[in-house]
Structure 1
Amino acid sequence: MLTQTVDRILDRALEGADLSPEEGVRLLKSDGPMSDFRIRDVADRLRSRQAGETVTYVVNRNINFTNICEQHCSFCAFRRDEGEAGAFWLDTAQILEKAADALRRGATEICMQGGLNPKAKIGGESLPYYVKLAATLKSEFPDLHLHAFSPQEVQFIAREDGCSYETVIAALRDGGVGSMPGTAAEVLDDRVRRVICPEKIDTATWLEIVETAHRLGVPTTSTILCGHVETPEQQIAHLDQLRSLQQKARDRAYPAEITEFIPLPFVGQEAPAPLRRRVGRDQPVLSESLRLTAVARIFLGNWIANHQPSWVKLGLSGATEALKWGCNDIGGTLMEEHITTMAGAQGGTCMTVADLEGAIASINRPICQRDTLYNLLGK
């Protein structure tokens, strides 16, 4: 009976229907190799229909400009207090040096995020610091796309300066920010957030800031931090919030929208002990990650066409497998990844173009480099 129910749901998806949250939960909770086979097959077929056969990647560099942070998220092994061993705050010259190196290595994108450092100010205000950071990078490297500053950072700046989210986002956009990482989403359920990130923005604030970005012409990505204390129901509710956000952007003809979806499996090896003990494992369970990856394609694909795994969290072999479960993009070179690696991820900190292209070639799919907004390069 369960298989028949799953079959009916998957047939509806293949007919082009948007699944209900209840149907999404049913897929996540279905059990057995036959269910896995069918869910994977349908996700792969929908991927082909919605995003095509070509697997893309981006040549980019992460720059985490500081790990000094006022918050204490229970999954984070990256943050430090000022003066603590391992704390850092890059100056402008160091950031420009990293960007120059990225450009020499073929990067088209800089992804820049950092901890919430209360001293990151100019003249006692936060926004001028962040705008100057963006504007300096764009002035020195006008051809690099700046993918920077999460919704949490936007809220932090607005709170520090007593201004609106719209003011912050517009200033960052005008300073050179081309798109916003959809991080700090974690799980868009405040019951979960009270456990894993009680000091972070709540669900409504994350959604408000991302919608404001779309209205102001700033594209965003979207993510979920999965595989810790959340339930299948909460995972699907998160996906439903993202789908509704994308529908709103299109219904209201906003000039920007969500460009991609990325599941980020929890890595707990070096995470603070309370959450690590509660979750009970150090590394992601690949089968669970792949199931959610496939269901996300089925649930979101009509609205968000581009889906990407995290090779940092799953390893390159796991990310390559995810290309068979609904993903059409394998991510970026990153060049230096710190946040997840410090949590104990085993995927590495950097991939070369040859690494990524070799992984894609291993499943016999066409390969193409892209830019941040999924324009194909060299075509």
Structure 2
Amino acid sequence: MPPVESITIPTPQEQVAEILGPVLDGKSLTPQAGECLLKVASQFPTSDLAVIPPGLGQIQAAADQLRAKRVGETVTYVINRNINFTNICEQHCGFCAFRRDAYTPGAYWLDLEEILRKAGEAVTLGATEICLQGGLNPQAQANGSTLNYYATIMRELKSAFPHLHLHAFSPQEIEFIARQDDRGFVDVLAHLQAQGLDSLPGTAAEVLVDRVRQIICPEKLKTETWLEIVTTAHRLGLPTTSTMLCGHIETPAEQIQHLEHLRQLQQTALENHYPGRITEFILLPYVGEQAPLALRKRVGRSQPDLLQTLALTAVARLYLGDWIPNHQPSWVKLGLEGAKMALTWGCNDLGGTLMEEHITTMAGAKGGTGLTPQELQVAITSLGRPAQQRTTLYQPLGDPIHGSLG
């Protein structure tokens, strides 16, 4: 009998090296290659993070190299305040511990005076941005109009604090306003923009795959609608951020599908010379400690898997390449030490001071509700990298800070 030819199966390290070479030479990562990297990463359960397995170490090194090439060594941060103006919400997302029905224990709805007070307090602490989001409260109307209610908040904030950047209202909130008042998305966005809206948070994206959305947030807007609203915002000159809620029921292929949607959104904005575009990508790992039981049992975990979050952080940097330059971890979800680690896996921004954070904290996150600028600076400079305050749109403010602050 003729000798049997042996078949050589590439090792994970060889597979990864073959994929990463072209990416580091400036080529775009294909969906198939991105999925392969995530599958390689998923072979390594969370263990001692001081020793990164070789295949995963290659992915980390490549992401960090691409970060350095694209945006340099400086790590940025913004002085901002979150204002979650109501937790009364008509929807019942499977991951949300924040929402309440009206007139039930724990339900709240801030009036305009309190919103202005919180913004004023933030300004005295050096804030350049207010991030304003809330539940979908059907009672939130002014003169019988939901749009008038939201527009009044923008107008009053911008009148009181004209230099404050108003980063407000997710695509889900825009869809809610349009649906409540039977208006088009262009009409809603243009009116809010005229009253002072400066940019949109790219939240409510969760995973931009309708199979996943049907399970974890069936009442939320569909993928196609989320993409339409963000594209409309870009066309009108409103920048947006982008996010992904990860680490629950989604597959590696669906994570890549989400990243592909974001890459195509940015390509569309740039190719059509839209005045707005995506400013940053933020990975938001699932926290379920206090979240509804059904999804928590299905996931089988209440806190983020740090190693898998870091792996996806790296792959996101590689996949989004030159298209979305700024990447940010969530120190609320990962803790400050976990977020510092993400700065060595492709991230270049440590986010904001927040001052208060309710949505994730109420789900059981351990990272806290606010950090001072000094705490962010110390975290950054402890890595031997300079810290730089920025605006919402990534313009530098002041001089970079080098060295330990003690």
- TM class by smaller structure: over 0.9
**Larger-gyration structure (1/2):** 2
Asked whether 1:158 is paired with 2:168, we answer: no
| Cα displacement (A) at 1:301 | 2.3
Q: SS of 1:346's equivalent?
A: coil
Equivalent residue runs for 1:67-216 within 5 Å: 67-216=87-236
User: Could you tell me how far apart the structure 2 residues matched to 1:183 and 1:172 are?
Assistant: 18
User: Could you tell me how far apart the structure 2 residues matched to 1:91 and 1:58 are?
Assistant: 26
2:18 counterpart residue number = 8
Post-superposition CA distance 1:222-261 (Å, at most 9, x none):
0000000000000000000000000000111101100000
Segments of 5+ residues of structure 2 without an aligned counterpart are 1-9, 45-52, 400-406
1:318 counterpart residue number = 338
Post-superposition CA distance 1:13-60 (Å, at most 9, x none):
100111110000001111450111110100000000111110000000
User: Could you tell me how far apart the structure 1 residues matched to 2:387 and 2:229 are?
Assistant: 34
Match of 2:289 among 269, 293, 300: 269
User: Could you tell me how far apart the structure 2 residues matched to 1:173 and 1:207 are?
Assistant: 19
Match of 1:307 among 327, 349, 359: 327
| Cα displacement (A) at 1:302 | 1.3
User: Could you tell me how far apart the structure 2 residues matched to 1:261 and 1:274 are?
Assistant: 28
| Cα displacement (A) at 1:362 | 1.0
Q: Match for 2:90: what amino acid?
A: E
| Cα displacement (A) at 1:166 | 0.3
Match of 1:336 among 345, 356, 359: 356
User: Could you tell me how far apart the structure 2 residues matched to 1:172 and 1:12 are?
Assistant: 43
Q: Match for 1:9: what amino acid?
A: I
Q: SS of 2:310's equivalent?
A: helix
Post-superposition CA distance 1:179-223 (Å, at most 9, x none):
000000000000000010000000000000000000000000000
- Asked if the contact 2:355/2:371 (under 8 Å) is kept, the reply is yes
Q: SS of 1:261's equivalent?
A: strand
User: Could you tell me how far apart the structure 2 residues matched to 1:48 and 1:348 are?
Assistant: 29
User: Could you tell me how far apart the structure 1 residues matched to 2:250 and 2:306 are?
Assistant: 17
Runs of at least 4 residues off by over 4 Å? none
| Cα displacement (A) at 1:101 | 0.5
1:296 counterpart residue number = 316
Q: Match for 2:31: what amino acid?
A: P
Percent identity between matched residues is: 62
User: Could you tell me how far apart the structure 1 residues matched to 2:312 and 2:194 are?
Assistant: 37
Q: Match for 1:20: what amino acid?
A: T
User: Could you tell me how far apart the structure 2 residues matched to 1:15 and 1:90 are?
Assistant: 51
2:402 counterpart residue number = none
2:373 counterpart residue number = 353
Post-superposition CA distance 1:89-133 (Å, at most 9, x none):
000110011001100111000000000000111121110110010
User: Could you tell me how far apart the structure 2 residues matched to 1:4 and 1:264 are?
Assistant: 30
Q: SS of 1:339's equivalent?
A: coil
Q: Match for 2:27: what amino acid?
A: A
Relative to the length of structure 2, the TM-score reads 0.93
User: Could you tell me how far apart the structure 1 residues matched to 2:154 and 2:34 are?
Assistant: 40
Q: Match for 2:149: what amino acid?
A: Y
1:22 counterpart residue number = 32
User: Could you tell me how far apart the structure 2 residues matched to 1:253 and 1:174 are?
Assistant: 21
Post-superposition CA distance 1:330-359 (Å, at most 9, x none):
000000000000000000000011110010
Relative to the length of structure 1, the TM-score reads 0.99
User: Could you tell me how far apart the structure 2 residues matched to 1:71 and 1:211 are?
Assistant: 24
User: Could you tell me how far apart the structure 2 residues matched to 1:344 and 1:128 are?
Assistant: 34
Q: Match for 1:300: what amino acid?
A: L
Q: Match for 2:267: what amino acid?
A: Q
- Asked if the contact 2:13/2:58 (under 8 Å) is kept, the reply is no
User: Could you tell me how far apart the structure 1 residues matched to 2:100 and 2:142 are?
Assistant: 22
Q: SS of 1:7's equivalent?
A: helix
Asked whether 1:34 is paired with 2:54, we answer: yes
Q: Match for 1:169: what amino acid?
A: L
User: Could you tell me how far apart the structure 2 residues matched to 1:23 and 1:169 are?
Assistant: 37
